[in-house]
Amino acid sequence: MEEPQGDGWLSNRGGALSSSALLSFSHPHVAVGASRGTRGYPTVEEPWDGGHSVGVSHCSLFQGRLYNFQDTEKSDPPMDPLLLSTLKNTCPRDAILDNTAILDQGTVGNSTIVGNTYYQEILMRKSILQLDQELALHPSTNNTVKSTAMGDKFSNHSGQAMVKLGAAQLNADAGHSDSKN
């Protein structure tokens, strides 16, 4: 992936204070567009912020999809059956340890790669988190997910969307300090 070129916004707050209590991000069960559209971040751009394409998730964040989706005592119907079986092995119902699963199943073995495999996987119903699966299924984001999965739009659009998302959050915060690079 190429380095971003040109002018951009930088936050001077980076690294000033680290605390998990200060984190502000969408809960994995929030509906598509529920929080971002209200901050000047269009729902149609939501897939380009990278979704949950990097890293891992603890089983406790998505176990409901495996064993008791929406209090039905069944699995989430859209989930790919092979992924469901794999996740049930990784995340047993009565597990003592809160195991983890790689969020982008297309990069198993390297959970630090950012790219369009995430979009390909969610189109195949292989999403770990419900919110990510909804990106592929929701009418306002489905076409964006499809075009990103099939092409090389991800690099440019993802960077632009992340800048917008960061700016929307910074503008919502009181007492921030930004500088134009």
Q: Which residues are annotated as a binding site for heme b?
A: 52
Q: In whole angstroms, what is the distance from residue 17 CA to residue 164 CA?
A: 22
**For 11, phi and psi rounded to 5 degrees?**
-95, 135
Binding residues: 52, 104, 107
SS3 at position 12 = coil
Q: How many CA atoms lie within 13 A of 112 on its CB side?
A: 0
For residue 139, the 8-state DSSP code is: T
Q: In whole angstroms, what is the distance from residue 6 CA to residue 129 CA?
A: 34
In contact, 32 and 140? CB cutoff 8 Å: yes
Q: In whole angstroms, what is the distance from residue 5 CA to residue 44 CA?
A: 24
Q: Which long-range contacts (CB under 8 A, 24 or more apart) does 133-137 make?
A: 133/76, 133/78, 133/79, 134/31, 134/32, 135/32, 135/46, 135/47, 135/51, 137/78
Binding residues for Ca(2+): 104, 107
